[in-house]
Structure formats: C-alpha cells, structure tokens
Structure 1
Amino acid sequence: MMLDIMTRSKIAITIKDDLLKRLDRAIDGKTIRNRSHAIEYFLDQELFSKAETALLIAGHKDFSCSTLFERKSVLEHHLELLQAHGVKNAILLLHESEQEAQRIAGDGSEYGLRITYLRQGKEQTGTAHALVQAKKFIGEDLFFVFYCHVVAEIDLADFVLYHRETDGIATVALSFTEKPKETEGASRVISAGIFCMGPEIFEYIPKEKAASLERDVFPKLAQEGKLGGYMFEGKWCNVRNQICFPSKRKK
C-alpha cells in the first residue's frame, strides 16, 4: 500500500448546522476519519474522483457476459455499478461468439451510458492487448478495466480517490480471502480483476498480442513504484469459476 503524504493547508470555514450534522453522521472511523477528512473526502469525490470510461473485457470463449448471477446477467451487474458511480462511457470487448451482450445492454441509454462494442476476433489475445484494441475510445483520462467474469461490490469513487492519491499509473482492486483450512489462521490477498489506470499505461504494453497485464505490464510498473493496491471489503465473486468471497464489512 502507498501512504497518503500529500501536504495540506489549514483553513477556516463556516457551515450550516444541519449540513455539519449530516457530515458528522458520515464519519465512520474507517473510510472517513474526522470532520476535516469528511470535507476533503466529499469535495474530492465531487470535483475530482471520477473516471468516466470503463473497459469491460469479455473475450474469453468459454464465458458469456449473459451468464446469470443472483438473477441478473453478469453484464447487468457491471452496467448498474457503472451507472451508480457516474461512469458515462463503456467499451465492451467481446469474443466473436458472444451474441447476447448487445441484446442486454443495447446502446446503453437505459443505464445512462454510451456503449461501444468491439470484437476480439478468432485469435485469443492477452488482457494487455485488449487495452490496445480499445485505446482510441479510452481517451486521455483515468479509466476502469473490468474482467467481465468478476462481480464485486466496490466503491468506484473511493477507488479513484485512492488511485489519484498514490500518483501511480495503475491500481489493482484487491480482496482479502482466507486460505484453505489446512493452513487455518493464514490469509492472502488476491486481485479482484478490477483496475483503475491512467493513459500512461499504454507506454508499458508490449506489441505482442498475447501480452498479459499481470505477466507483462504490472511487474514493470511495480519495479518503478507505479503500481498500487486498493483493498476493498465488499462481496467479490468470480462467476466463471463459481468462487465467491462474502463482504468483510461489519454490520
């Protein structure tokens, strides 16, 4: 984890009593630590902590984004998450055999999105090359990357905020999961298949079509201190492998 070492200035402000009470109610000691942090948090979320484009990679021939999970298709889960966090543009990179995505999502207007459909083609390509295919639609701002077979309860605004504060090129969403029972008491951190990235990522992608983010790109970023990890406590499921980890949030 990278620490927040940004400098801060002291200021004096006046604020309505009822607004201050609402601000105090948001302080949970974890995500929001105190009043100053609450003001900073909500200002940053409103003014800066947005990524308006998401790339959904659904290029695996053995998995369809129409697969049902908790009575909805996996794709619907993703689109609803993007809508809830103000994402405006979604790029769907689909395997050539995928037939249901456009029927489910249409032009995206139902979710407040503009959707661009891309096809991977017959040749299986790596996850890094998927970014290259979508590059001209991504633009010059921060963007999300989702592996479509993963469904997660994640606060994308807080994810972006963390990414900006670390000043990295890519941040990996991480889930904390218990190890098998034979090693009871131990634990491990795993990638949740969701990423926040800046456009500088393209400078690190090899030309080979089989290039992988995890194998060929992230190690280079890590060596330069440009790869971050964001722990989140929400539910996380790999629908393709039927593996789920429940929310770690205290109720």
Structure 2
Amino acid sequence: MSILNKAVILCGGRGTRLAPLTDDRQKCMIPLAGKPVLLHVIEHFKKYGVREFILITGYRKEDVMEFFKDGSQFGIQVAYTICEGGTAPSLLAAKPWIKEPFFFAYGDLISDFDLKALFDAHTKKAKKQGAIVTLALLEFPGDVSRFGVAEIEDNIKEGRIEKFIEKPTPSETSSRLINAGLMVCSPEVFDYLGDPDDFSFEKQVLPRLAKDGKVYGVTMDAKSLWIDIGKYEDYQKARCILEKAMGQGQGMI
C-alpha cells in the first residue's frame, strides 16, 4: 500500500520523566518489546509504503544515527538534520528535503492509526477547504490538560479546526479532541515557519494555522492503539500492550 513516500519524524527529546530509562540514551531509543520506540513508529509508516524518512534529532543524536545509519538494513532511506531548538525550527529544518505532501510525526508516540484514511482526508477533503495541514485527532476520555486540544466547527469529529489550544485548563474548552501527534502537511506549511520568535509548532504555529483556516482535523477510530511514551507509567502500559500483541502474533505495530 503506497500513499505518501516521505515522513518527517521528530526524535530529539530528552525524556526526563522517563528516567532512569533515559539516563544513557535518547528518549525515542528506549527499548520497547524488543526494539527502540522509534523503530516501532517507522515500521508502522513502512506498512503504508513510506520509504523515505527525515529524522530531526539533536540531543544524543548519535544514538539515533548509529542505530539507523542510512536505513538500508531496514529497507528504507534515512536522512538526518540536526536541530537543538523547538518543534517549530525542527520542522523548518526538513524543508530542503520536501517538495510534496508528507507525514509529520513525533518519534515517541506509538499508534496503529489508519494512515490511508488520514491521507485521503487531506487530498479529498482538506485541500478543497483550503487546508494545508490535516491533523489526526483522538477523542480522549481523561484529563486533556497534557495535550493540545482542537475545536472543530459545529462540534463535529471531522472538519476544519477553528481553534487550537495547547494544554488548556478546564475553563478554556469543552472539547475532548486532542492532537495525536501525527499529520499530513503540504509544503505550504513552511510559509508559516521561520519566525525567530517561534519555538513550538504546537503552541505557536498550529494556532496561527487554525486561525487562518488552514488545519483540517480527522478523529481517528476510538479503538485505535495510541500511546504517548511521555511518562514512565505510559511506557509500562505500552510495553504490556505490545508484548501481548506480539505474543499473539497480531503484529499491531
């Protein structure tokens, strides 16, 4: 199955909340069910035909580069760019490799989302509404204050995102739709990057894009696997789920 051929993945996090697992390695390289977290992420993209990866790294970059090298041993092509800044300048650093729409993801978020559904929404619906980013959303039952929260017009589960609030308080929004850390971007997204004051793509750039009507949101299947490997308890949860799936031969990721 081939949809888009290129993915940009952020993989420069320190993972201080995952200590001691991250005392001697980069966050996305901690082992999970027998392989680094980042390899799980890449293998899911590979199932959908993605073969070219731009890995944006910084902190302990050698952990990532020495493991993946040029990607040939995994049947992919890997290019690297180094950025010690935030997520906004990190995405901008990938611009020289981008000429067409691409996936943009975080290297510490594991999911089994339907990437074709996200791609189809971008090409068949979002573009018709003038959007240049199609964001995977998840209806989250718990505390949304840890995440970026989207408000879609008419309070539906798919459509143009009217507002985006990063880590809101309960009084700021009633929406339960969180940024799932995966999106399809058209190259025009780079027109919104480059401001020297921008550090965070989530806190600064996405709200600006939403204000201009440039972000389309798609709520993923509620039964989808989605785990943010941000805290130690989340890591332990992911390990149990993946080891169980692999033991049953499901090959979820």
Is the pair's TM-score, using the shorter chain for normalization, greater than 0.5? yes
1:113 to 76, 83, 94: 76
The aligned runs of 1:1-251 (5 Å cut-off) are: 50-62=3-15, 63-121=26-84, 125-138=85-98, 140-165=99-124, 166-167=126-127, 168-179=131-142, 188-208=176-196, 210-233=198-221, 234-241=224-231, 242-243=233-234
Distance 1:238 1:220, change over 3 A: same
Work out the CA distance in 1 between the residues paired with 2:58 and 2:209.
28
Partner SS state of residue 140, structure 2? strand
Partner SS state of residue 116, structure 1? strand
Cα contact 1:83–1:111 (8 A) shared by 2: no
Work out the CA distance in 1 between the residues paired with 2:175 and 2:91.
32
Partner SS state of residue 99, structure 1? helix
Work out the CA distance in 2 between the residues paired with 1:201 and 1:73.
30
Letter in 2 for 1:220: R
Work out the CA distance in 2 between the residues paired with 1:88 and 1:202.
22
Large movers: runs of 4+ above 6 Å: none
Percent identical residues: 28
Consecutive unaligned residues in structure 2, runs of 5 or more: 16-25, 144-169, 242-253
Letter in 2 for 1:227: V
Letter in 2 for 1:84: K
Consecutive unaligned residues in structure 1, runs of 5 or more: 1-44, 247-251
Work out the CA distance in 1 between the residues paired with 2:208 and 2:79.
30
Distance 1:137 1:209, change over 3 A: farther
Letter in 2 for 1:151: I
Cα contact 2:141–2:176 (8 A) shared by 1: yes
Cα contact 2:7–2:105 (8 A) shared by 1: yes
| RMSD, aligned CA | 2.4
Work out the CA distance in 1 between the residues paired with 2:176 and 2:33.
26
Work out the CA distance in 1 between the residues paired with 2:42 and 2:142.
31
Cα contact 1:173–1:191 (8 A) shared by 2: yes
How far residue 232 of structure 1 moved from its aligned partner, in angstroms, is 1.3
Letter in 2 for 1:163: H
Cα contact 2:13–2:28 (8 A) shared by 1: no
Partner SS state of residue 215, structure 1? helix
TM-score, length basis structure 2: 0.68
Distance 1:163 1:173, change over 3 A: same
Partner SS state of residue 104, structure 2? strand
Work out the CA distance in 1 between the residues paired with 2:175 and 2:141.
5
Greater relative contact order: 1 or 2 (C-alpha under 8 angstroms, separation 6 or more)? 2
Work out the CA distance in 1 between the residues paired with 2:29 and 2:197.
26
How far residue 235 of structure 1 moved from its aligned partner, in angstroms, is 0.6
Partner SS state of residue 219, structure 1? helix
How far residue 75 of structure 1 moved from its aligned partner, in angstroms, is 1.3
TM-score, length basis structure 1: 0.69
Distance 1:110 1:79, change over 3 A: farther
How far residue 224 of structure 1 moved from its aligned partner, in angstroms, is 2.3
Count residues with an aligned counterpart.
191
How far residue 154 of structure 1 moved from its aligned partner, in angstroms, is 1.1
Work out the CA distance in 1 between the residues paired with 2:51 and 2:45.
8
Cα contact 2:198–2:204 (8 A) shared by 1: no
